[in-house]
């Protein structure tokens, strides 16, 4: 099973539908679909919420509402509170990154609530007391107050990345084989003489520099083919070629 399916994002006493909508979008971006509102205190219409949810209105429309936090988390095997402040009961909070593996592991066994407080006052002490775990998002001391949906995003992002389900993009072209790289250096050396950039006797010196440039990071077959095309074309032009050819054409 996907443990993210067992995450319940619980917003307590939320004031603005725009923050609900933005939170839904952030949740959907991170593969989390279940929203609960506990004792919502909404001051504006759902129009703003829909505008901010964009393509996550399905998450928003499927929300469950409860009169209190206690009822919203009744079926949960763990209740993870998010808090920005230090203080009584809040000292043993972890960062979302450190807490994510345990949260996901608990979510393998049943629903896990991740609870976010009001825009203005956060979670009350009596709500924090209902939490089995506490997390605090790392912030700069100069401005510690996070927007509600931004707090949802960072937390959801840490849970999502902790699942290991995201595959970073890979180069489609394979790395250039050594023989192709050697050919590249040879052809460039010849070309750089042909165009008058350097003299034969300076080649060893200059080519060290080009070797360095071509060795930064992954250098693919396509990259090498492209640079070989440049060399061919420059040589051709230096020798009096008139028409411009596509350097990659016969690479």
Which residues lie near a second copy (CB under 8 A)?
Answer: 22, 25-26, 28-31, 52, 54-56, 86, 90-95, 97-98, 136-140, 142-147, 149-150, 153-154, 157, 160-161, 166, 168-173, 217-218
| Residue located via tokens 């989390």 | 32
What distance in Å separates the CA atoms of residue 20 and residue 40, rounded to the nearest whole number?
Answer: 10
- Choose between 97 and 190: whose C-beta lies nearer to a second copy: 97
The two beta strands, 112-116 and 7-12, are parallel
Nearer Cβ to a second copy (86/249): 86
Shortest Å distance, C-beta 99 to a second copy = 10
- Closest approach, Cβ 203 to a second copy, in A, equals 28
Closer by beta carbon to a second copy, 92 or else 205? 92
> Which of 28, 80 has the CB closer to a second copy?
28
Q: How far is it, in rounded angstroms, from Cα 43 to Cα 140?
A: 30
Judged by beta carbon, residue 169 or residue 240, the one nearer a second copy is: 169
Q: Identify which of residues 127 and 158 has a Cβ nearer to a second copy in the complex.
A: 158
Q: How far apart are CA 35 and CA 33, in angstroms?
A: 7
Q: Which two tokens stand for residue 224?
A: 């090498």
Three-state SS string over 98-143 comes to HHHHHHHHHHCCCCEEEEECECCCECCHHHHCCCCEEECCCCCCCC
What are the backbone dihedrals phi and psi of residue 198, each rounded to the nearest 5 degrees, phi first? -150, 165
Instruction: Name the minimum Å distance from CB 196 to a second copy.
Output: 28
Alpha-carbon distance values, 164 to 6, 204, 206 (Å): 16, 46, 44
Nearer to a second copy (CB atom), residue 157 or residue 206: 157
Give Cβ neighbours of residue 37 (< 8 Å, ≥ 6 apart).
10, 11, 14, 20, 63, 64, 65, 66, 72
**Among 158, 220, 214, 164, CA closest to 189:** 214
* Minimum CB distance to a second copy, residue 37 (Å): 20
Query: How many other C-beta atoms lie within 10 A of the C-beta of residue 104?
Result: 20
Closest distance between a second copy and the C-beta of residue 87, in Å?
10
Supply the minimum distance, in Å, between the C-beta of residue 86 and a second copy.
Answer: 6
CB of 228 to a second copy, least distance (A): 19
């Amino acid at each position: 099973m996907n443990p993210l399916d067992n995450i319940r994002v619980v917003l307590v006493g939320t004031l603005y539908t725009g923050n609900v909508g933005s939170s839904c979008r952030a949740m959907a971006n991170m593969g989390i679909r279940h929203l609960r509102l506990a004792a919502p205190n909404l001051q504006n219409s759902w129009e703003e919420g829909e505008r901010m949810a964009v393509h996550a209105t399905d998450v928003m429309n499927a929300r469950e509402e409860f009169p209190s936090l206690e009822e919203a988390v009744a079926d949960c095997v763990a209740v993870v509170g998010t808090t920005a402040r230090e203080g009584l009961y809040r000292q043993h909070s972890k960062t979302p990154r450190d807490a994510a593996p345990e949260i996901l592991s608990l979510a393998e066994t049943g629903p896990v609530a991740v609870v976010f407080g009001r825009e203005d006052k956060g979670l009350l002490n009596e709500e924090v007391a209902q939490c089995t775990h506490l997390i605090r998002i790392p912030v700069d001391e100069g401005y510690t107050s996070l927007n509600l949906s931004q707090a949802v995003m960072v937390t959801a992002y840490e849970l999502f990345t902790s699942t290991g389900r995201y595959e970073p993009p890979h180069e489609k072209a394979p790395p250039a084989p050594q023989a192709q790289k050697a050919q590249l250096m040879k052809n460039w050396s010849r070309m750089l003489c042909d165009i008058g950039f350097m003299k034969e006797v300076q080649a060893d010196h200059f080519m060290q520099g080009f070797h360095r440039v071509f060795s930064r990071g992954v250098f693919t077959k396509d990259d090498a083919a492209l640079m070989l095309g440049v060399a061919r074309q420059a040589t051709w032009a230096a020798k009096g070629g008139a028409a411009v050819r596509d350097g990659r054409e016969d690479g």
